[in-house]
Amino acid sequence: MTDGAKVWGLHLLVLAAVFAAQFLLPPYHATNLARIMVLAVFAMGYNIAFGYTGLLSLGHALFFAAGMYGMGLPVWHLEWVSVPALIAGLLAGGVMAGAVGVLALRTAGVSFMIVTLMFAQAGYLTLLYLNSWTGGDEGFVVASAARQAFGFSLATDTPRFTAAFVLFAAGLLACLWLVRSPFGRVMVAMRENEERSRMLGYDPFRVKLVALILSGLYAGLAGAAYGMLFGYVGASFATIQYSILPMLYVLLGGAGTVLGPFLGALLMFYLIDITSNYTDAYLFVVGAALVGLVLFAPKGILGTLRERAWRWLP
């Protein structure tokens, strides 16, 4: 079997297994899985910037929230409905990433982290400040009239799972295609050695900006879908915590692997879910996982697997 066949085979197999899971799992877990798939889309976007292009951002909550409010505000104020609202969210994430990127990408490394953190913080505070428009701290519920698509209510289990799955599958396959494309190769080259890439004729600023916008589109779509499928839009999704979560998922699953974000989201979600049966100290689990990963497994699960055995894993 060629590497290409192995790669597509594996990813389609994973998608088939995830799709089948809704029929095999009890409803509680099926809903969890829908949530995980949406969060995985967010993490895939984060991975495009961090894992493949080497842009360690601390501001992705801003792009997630841009998507969520880009979907939610037109629903609230203009009575938009599901599909157009989701598209608005997707675009809002991309536009926000582009705007942040134009400024933040003049810096690198630690400065880039702090600049993205500060922009995200300013975004969060702006949501609070404009509370008559955004609902501030309280947030708002997405009207159920808007949560209808193709005759189904996205508030019910099966359509919700299906919608999450469609977005997840599209995101995963697009990501796989992207990283195997010539542009994907250039993203990795930028991560590995920016100066060398410049001397091969690539504009680092442009490549990183495009990667960040793609990343923002994913984050925006995930934010919009999260609000749409679970019915609530709130400023808490713009806090630093939602910048850390995708980073944690990506680090756990394996930065720079296509399936890593999903695997990381899945494991972390259930790690928190299971430990919260015994203790409410879930923040401690998140913190310990972060420290443990950077100390002992900086490549994550699939990154280590690729290093040891599956060299062909994208």
Partner 1 sequence: MAAVIEARGLTRHFGGLRAVDGVDFSLEHGEIHGLIGPNGAGKTTFVSLLSGRIPVQSGTISLNGEDITHLPAHLRVRKGVAYTFQITSVYPRLSVFDNVALAAQSRGAGDVPAEVAQALGRVGMTGLDGAQAGTLSYGHQRLLEVAMGLALRPVILILDEPTQGLASGEIDGFKALIRSLVPQTTILLIEHNMDVVMDLADRITVLNFGQVLAVGAPDQIRANKAVQDAYLGGDHAAG
Partner 2 sequence: MSFGPFLLLAVLEGTVMAAVLALTAVGLSLVFGVMRVVNVAHGEFYMLGAVIAWFVTYYLPFPPALVWLAALIIAPLIVALIAALTDTLVLKRLNYDPEATIVATIGLLYMLQQAALTFYGPDARPVVAPFEWRIQLPWFGYSGYKLFVVVAAVVILAAVWLFMTRSKAGLVMRATQVDRDTAQAFGINVDRVYAGTFALGGALAAAAAVLIVPIQQAHYLMGHDPLLLSFIVVIIGGLGSIRGTLVAALVIGLSDGIISMFFSPTLAKIIATLLVALVLVFRPQGLFGAKA
Which residues bind to partner 1, rule: CB under 8 A? 182, 185-186, 188-189, 192-193, 195-204
Between 103 and 145, whose beta carbon lies closer to partner 2?
Answer: 103
Between 119 and 262, whose beta carbon lies closer to partner 2?
Answer: 119
- Interaction partner, residue 186 (partner 1, partner 2, none; CB < 5-8 Å by kind): partner 1
Q: What is the dihedral of CA 251, 256, 259, 261, to 10 degrees?
A: 40
- Interaction partner, residue 195 (partner 1, partner 2, none; CB < 5-8 Å by kind): partner 1
Q: Which residues contact 218 (CB under 8 A, 6 or more apart)?
A: 41, 42, 44, 45, 46, 48, 93, 171, 175
Q: Burial level of 266, CB count in 10 A (0-12/13-18/19+)?
A: buried
* Rounded least distance, CB 145 to partner 1, Å: 49
How many other CB atoms are found less than 10 A from the CB of residue 13? 10
Instruction: Give the DSSP per-residue string, 241-285.
Output: HHHHHHHHHHHHH-TT-SSHHHHHHHHHHHHHHHHHHH-S-HHHH
Between 189 and 235, whose beta carbon lies closer to partner 1?
Answer: 189
Between 106 and 185, whose beta carbon lies closer to partner 1?
Answer: 185
> How far apart are the C-alpha atoms of 314 and 300, rounded to whole Å?
14
- Interaction partner, residue 110 (partner 2, partner 1, none; CB < 5-8 Å by kind): partner 2
> How far apart are the C-alpha atoms of 38 and 50, rounded to whole Å?
19
User: SS3 of 258, please?
Assistant: coil
Applying CB under 8 A, the residues found at the interface with partner 2 are 56, 58, 103-104, 106-107, 109-111, 113-115, 117-119, 121-122, 125-126, 128-129, 244, 247, 251, 281-284, 286-295, 298
- Interaction partner, residue 118 (partner 1, partner 2, none; CB < 5-8 Å by kind): partner 2
* Rounded least distance, CB 184 to partner 1, Å: 10
> How far apart are the C-alpha atoms of 269 and 292, rounded to whole Å?
17
Between 18 and 251, whose beta carbon lies closer to partner 2?
Answer: 251
- Interaction partner, residue 196 (partner 1, partner 2, none; CB < 5-8 Å by kind): partner 1
* Rounded least distance, CB 136 to partner 1, Å: 45
C-alpha 302, offset from chain centre: 17
